[in-house]
Amino acid sequence: MVGITHNRWLATGMSTLLAAGMVVGASAAVLAQDEECPAAVVTGEIPDLTEQLGHKPKVGLVMKSLANAFFQQMDAGAKAFAADNEDLFEFQTVGMADERDFNAQVEAIENYITQEFDVIVIAPADSQGMPEHIAKAIEAGITVVNIDVALDAQAMADAGIDLAFFGPDNRLGAKMAGDALAEKLGEGGKVVILEGNPEADNGVQRRMGFEDAVAEGGLELLDSRTAHWETEEANELMTNFLTQYPDLQGAMAANDSMALGVIAALEAVDKVGEVEVVGFDNIPGVRPYIADGSMLATIEQYGSQMAVFGIEMGLRELAGESFCGWQLTPIDLVTAENVVVE
């Protein structure tokens, strides 16, 4: 896959490793976006803390909707890593019923506090609402690691916490997908955006990235509305877009679950291939559509390994290391030229 040329890597390029099958134990690194913070080197090796703590560390992973294939991949990757390291830590995961079930994440954190977990790794559903709850976990002595969706800086400041963020450049990724669409359609192409959850930082950043591509590519943005990451909601929204904008040429979906809803709407009116579609996440369900040309592109952000990064960094922080700033994880553009259909 195409590497991320704007990043500087401290060791072997992470993007190359991941594309080759994600050899976590190889020498690799994530980039510290903040120049004042050193980059955290990802080794795949975790400390043995059982003697220090008097028990095996307990690690909890809090994700968003497990109806979303991206988080299914994250869940599977984390559980595989935990199984390989079962002598070093105990592990539990919690997912939400849907993308807006914020209370499920709050309850998970409260349960982990009650059960005296040592590390919580979280992909927050609400960037502004979550910091006050994370603060309670930190006050209880739990190490918390923020992955995938960045917590809001002001909300963290208000809650009296400051966490590093391990995750991708969502704005850049969305622009990469949007640039592919702009190149395909040419200047003046008529497009719409299907936004993610507006309470989540990655939803905001991806919308902004698509808008960057619209401006730079000279596209005409007909409409931009949220479908809250959900397939059925995106199907309904895209159906309405097709009725309202019969000359529509392209759709930018902020995740692949919504892209699948867009494709279903196009199939219903026999417009697959007439309206170009881009997404984000590279979930298995979209890969056949990319391979056969029904969908133009998506962004790989290596969900199966993102929680693994968080687990490793959480246990290393528990052992005494510290991390700060934005620790950037890799992204790649996926098209018919490099998609892998399993």
Bridge pairing between strands 298-300 and 276-278: unpaired
Other CB atoms within a 10 A radius of the CB of residue 97 amount to: 11
Q: What is the pLDDT of residues 101-121, one digit of tens each?
A: 889 999 999 999 999 999 999
Residue 295 contacts residue 289 (beta carbons within 8 Å): yes
Q: What is the pLDDT of residues 273-292, one digit of tens each?
A: 999 999 999 999 999 999 99
* pLDDT attached to residue 11: 29
Q: What is the pLDDT of residues 197-229, one digit of tens each?
A: 998 899 999 999 999 999 999 999 999 999 999
* pLDDT attached to residue 340: 95
Whether residue 48 is predicted with pLDDT greater than 90 in this model: the reply is yes
Mutual orientation of helices 131-139 and 102-114 as an angle, nearest 10°? 0
Give the pLDDT band of residue 20 (cuts 50, 70, 90). Answer: very low
Whether residue 150 is predicted with pLDDT greater than 80 in this model: the reply is yes
* pLDDT attached to residue 44: 83
Whether residue 6 is predicted with pLDDT greater than 70 in this model: the reply is no
Q: The tokens of 204 are what? A: 């905001």
* pLDDT attached to residue 38: 86
Amino acid sitting at position 33? Q
Average pLDDT over residues 64-79: 93
Average pLDDT over residues 49-75: 95
More confident residue, 170 or 40: 170
For residue 302, give the 3-state DSSP assignment: coil
Burial degree of 278 (CB within 10 A; 0-12, 13-18, 19+)? buried
H-helix or E-strand spanning residue 47: none
Amino acid sitting at position 93? T
Q: What is the pLDDT of residues 241-256, one digit of tens each?
A: 999 999 999 999 999 9
Q: To which residue do tokens 């005409």 refer? A: 220
Whether residue 8 is predicted with pLDDT greater than 70 in this model: the reply is no
Phi, psi of 263 (to 5 degrees): -65, -40
Helices (H) and strands (E) in the chain, counts: 12, 13
Give the pLDDT band of residue 33 (cuts 50, 70, 90). Answer: low
Q: What is the mean pLDDT of the chain?
A: 89
Give the pLDDT band of residue 39 (cuts 50, 70, 90). Answer: confident
Average pLDDT over residues 134-159: 97
pTM: 0.85
Average pLDDT over residues 135-153: 96
More confident residue, 67 or 34: 67
